Amino acid sequence: MPAPKAQPKPKSFQDLILILQAYWADQGCAILQPYDMEVGAGTLHPGTVLRALGPKNWRAAYVQPSRRPKDARYGENPNRLGHYYQFQVILKPNPANLQDLYLTSLYKIGIDPMVHDIRFVEDDWENPTVGAWGLGWEVWCDGMEVSQYTYFQQVGGLDVFPVSGELTYGLERLAMYVFGVDNVYDLPFNDPDSAVPLTYGDVFLENERQQSAFNFEHSDVEMLKRWFADCESQSNALRDAGKPLPAYDYALKASHTFNLIDARGAISPTERQAYIARVRDLARGAAAQWAEQEEARAAS
Partner 1 sequence: MADLLLEIFSEEIPARMQAKAEADLGKALGDALTGAGLAFDALETASGPRRLSVNVTGLPVKSADVSEERKGPKVGSPEQAIAGFLKGAGLTSIDQAEVRTDPKKGDFYVAMLDKPGRLTADVVAEAVPAIIRGFHWPKSMRWGTGELHWVRPLQGIVCVLDGKVVPFEVDGLASGNQTEGHRVHGRGPFTVTGWADYSKQLEGKGHVRLTRAARRDVIAKGIADVCARAGLEWVEDAGLLEEVTGLAEWPVVVLGDMDPAFLDLPPEVITLSMRTHQKYFAVNDKKTGKLAPHFIVVANIDASDGGKQIAAGNARVLSARLEDGRFFWDKDKATKLDDMAAKLSTIAFKEELGSLGDKVERVAALARELAPAVGADADLAERAARLCKADLVSEMVGEFPELQGVMGRYYALAAGEPASVADAIRDHYKPQGPSDAVPTDPVSIAVALADKLDTLVGFWAIDEKPTGSKDPFALRRAALGVVRIVLESENRISLLGVMYAMEERYLQFTKSKLEHYPMAVKSLANVEVKARRGKPSLLTLLEYIRAMESDARYRSYWSQCSDLLSFFADRLKQYLRDQGQRHDLIDAVFALGEDDLVLITRRVEALGAFLDTEDGATLLAGYKRAANILRAEEKKGALPENLSVDAALIKKGPKEEQALYAALTAVRSAIAAPLKAEDFAGVMSELAKLRSPVDAFFEGVMVNDGDAAVRANRLALLTDVRATLHQVADFSLIEG
User: Considering only residues 19, 37, 103, 198, which one is a binding residue for partner 1 as defined by CB under 8 A?
Assistant: 103
User: Considering only residues 9, 37, 65, 95, which one is a binding residue for partner 1 as defined by CB under 8 A?
Assistant: 95
Q: How far is the CB of 163 from partner 1 (least distance, A)?
A: 5
User: Which stretch in 13-21, 112-120, 193-201, 246-254 sits in contact with partner 1 by CB under 8 A?
Assistant: 112-120
User: Considering only residues 8, 115, 218, 300, which one is a binding residue for partner 1 as defined by CB under 8 A?
Assistant: 115
Which 15-44 residues touch partner 1, going by CB under 8 A? none
**Minimum CB distance to partner 1 smaller for 103 or for 158:** 103
- Under the binding rule (CB under 8 A), the answer on residue 144 touching partner 1 is yes
**Minimum CB distance to partner 1 smaller for 8 or for 269:** 269
User: Which stretch in 28-36, 60-68, 121-129, 214-222 sits in contact with partner 1 by CB under 8 A?
Assistant: 121-129
- Under the binding rule (CB under 8 A), the answer on residue 1 touching partner 1 is yes
Contact 36, 96 (CB under 8 A): no
User: Considering only residues 26, 161, 197, 207, which one is a binding residue for partner 1 as defined by CB under 8 A?
Assistant: 161
**Minimum CB distance to partner 1 smaller for 34 or for 78:** 78
Q: How far apart are CA 288 and CA 120, in angstroms?
A: 31
- Under the binding rule (CB under 8 A), the answer on residue 157 touching partner 1 is no
Q: Site mask, partner 1, residues 249-278, x = CB under 8 A?
A: -------------------xxx--------
- Under the binding rule (CB under 8 A), the answer on residue 116 touching partner 1 is yes
User: Considering only residues 113, 128, 157, 246, which one is a binding residue for partner 1 as defined by CB under 8 A?
Assistant: 113
Q: How far is the CB of 79 from partner 1 (least distance, A)?
A: 5
Q: How far apart are CA 276 and CA 2, in angstroms?
A: 49
Q: How far is the CB of 117 from partner 1 (least distance, A)?
A: 4
Q: How far apart are CA 247 and CA 244, in angstroms?
A: 5
Q: How far is the CB of 22 from partner 1 (least distance, A)?
A: 24
Q: How far apart are CA 102 and CA 204, in angstroms?
A: 29
- Under the binding rule (CB under 8 A), the answer on residue 128 touching partner 1 is no
User: Which stretch in 1-9, 202-210, 241-249, 286-294 sits in contact with partner 1 by CB under 8 A?
Assistant: 1-9
Instruction: Say which residues have a Cβ less than 8 Å from residue 134's Cβ, sequence separation at least 6.
Output: 124, 125, 126, 150, 151, 152, 153, 154, 166
User: Considering only residues 114, 195, 196, 299, which one is a binding residue for partner 1 as defined by CB under 8 A?
Assistant: 114
Q: Closest Cα to residue 58, out of 46, 66, 69?
A: 46
Contact 126, 151 (CB under 8 A): no
Q: How far apart are CA 289 and CA 264, in angstroms?
A: 33
Q: How far apart are CA 160 and CA 156, in angstroms?
A: 9
Q: How far apart are CA 199 and CA 186, in angstroms?
A: 6
Using CB under 8 A, list all residues that contact partner 1: 1, 3-4, 77-79, 93-96, 99, 103, 113-122, 124, 134-137, 141-144, 151, 153, 161-163, 165, 177, 182, 268-270
